[in-house]
Amino acid sequence: MEKNGGCWSVLRRSVSSGSCKPSLESRTSSITSFPRTNLVYDAATETRHLNASNREMCAPNDQQSSSDLNLNQLLEFSFHELKSATGNFRPDSILGEGGFGFVFKGWIDENGTAPAKPGSGITVAVKSLKPDGLQGHREWMAEVDFLGQLHHPNLVKLIGYCIEDDQRLLVYEFMTRGSLENHLFRRTIPLPWSNRIKIATGAAKGLAFLHGGTEPIIYRDFKTSNILLDTEYNAKLSDFGLAKAGPQGDKTHVSTRVVGTYGYAAPEYVMTGHLTSKSDVYSFGVVLLEILTGRRSMDKKRPSGEQNLVMWARPYLAEKRKVYQLVDPRLELNYSVKGVQKVAQIAYNCLSRDSKARPSIDEVVKALSPLHDLNDFAILSYHARMSQPGRRKKKQPEGTHNVPQNQSKWFNESQRSSDLFIKALGAQ
């Protein structure tokens, strides 16, 4: 159903071979030099390296050749079609915004590229590249290159593209429930524990697919905003602009400029520019910690010792009796006791400072999969224990009875979560 006209008609169509290998120019792009004498993790150094590397991404003379792309499974849209499909890119149709540009909601015909009336046809997400966007033309090409060939239930589906004059747009399947980031940090109703486990497992399966091919792919930008959810809370990875072919043969890593998001990038990658699949595993550990705690990887609004999630949580992850302090207080006791302990253990292993000590993402999938069936919810243990004869009602924590409710919200949540979790563990 691909069109034969337009700007792409003069380009060579590469033969479909199932290969995910980027072009030669992409593989040999310039490498930023980083200090290799001091491998001690330092947040300021990480920020400096990421900012410098991200600025390089807009280099106008470093663009991948369009002729290397495999486009025969994608639809080619005209700019006019996408303009109509999104209602002239109305502000009220904006789904989100990132380094690439704005993402708009639109509708297209079920049997082609023609626009459809809102509420009819197929609902799509249209991502438009900013002319001066952080992610340049090269990242747009990488997105088409990878998602044009990769197909998996836990990867977002790329439907088509538009390249017309200076316009660069991508058309994806519409993900009904938006991003994991919105559900964890911007919704009033907390994401249920069972959905958190389902999402973490699905996202891990998406990474496992990328890492497990004959030509491994390193995602390089694993974070909550790039995990999209369908109606049934199935997770799908999106935004492959930073994805890179992994090491081949006897090579242990790929040397590349450091790009990504502060708070998610593996420390050894930030300091050396050495990229491996274990870099993605570290990022997965950060996201798993966000799922467990309901906290952002970086949050400047929190006290100084709690702004960096990994640094704050690491001392609690390995100790069974301390892990309750990490659980999202909004869940109260609606989570699996053993599930929390296992998730904490997986996150701890993924966040190992030694990249070689981290598990493979396949091992992570195997560890997460059984957690769906656990029904040892802490609330049940608590009620069972409290219903025992002779149990005395615990006195209210000293100093809280005279505190107004609106001023003691966070204290009460933390205190209640801590007390009830200990009781739940004691009932085991």
Query: Alpha helices, DSSP H only, in 17-69?
Result: 24-27, 43-56
Cα separations in angstroms, 165 against 2, 100, 119, 351, 404: 19, 18, 30, 44, 61
Helix-helix angle 337-350:309-317, to 10 degrees: 120
Q: Which long-range contacts (CB under 8 A, 24 or more apart) does 81-89 make?
A: 81/108, 81/113, 81/114, 81/115, 81/162, 82/106, 82/115, 82/126, 82/162, 82/169, 82/171, 84/115, 85/115, 85/116, 85/124, 85/126, 86/126, 87/118, 89/128
- Confirm whether 250 is a catalytic residue: no
CA distances from residue 427 to 22, 403, 420, 421 in whole angstroms, order as listed: 55, 31, 11, 10
Residue of 62, 109, 165, 221 marked active site:
221
Indicate the helix (H) or strand (E) that contains 278: helix 277-293
Residue 246: closest CA among 286, 204, 221, 214: 214
Cβ distance 287 to 222 under 8 Å?
A: yes
Residues marked active site are found at: 221
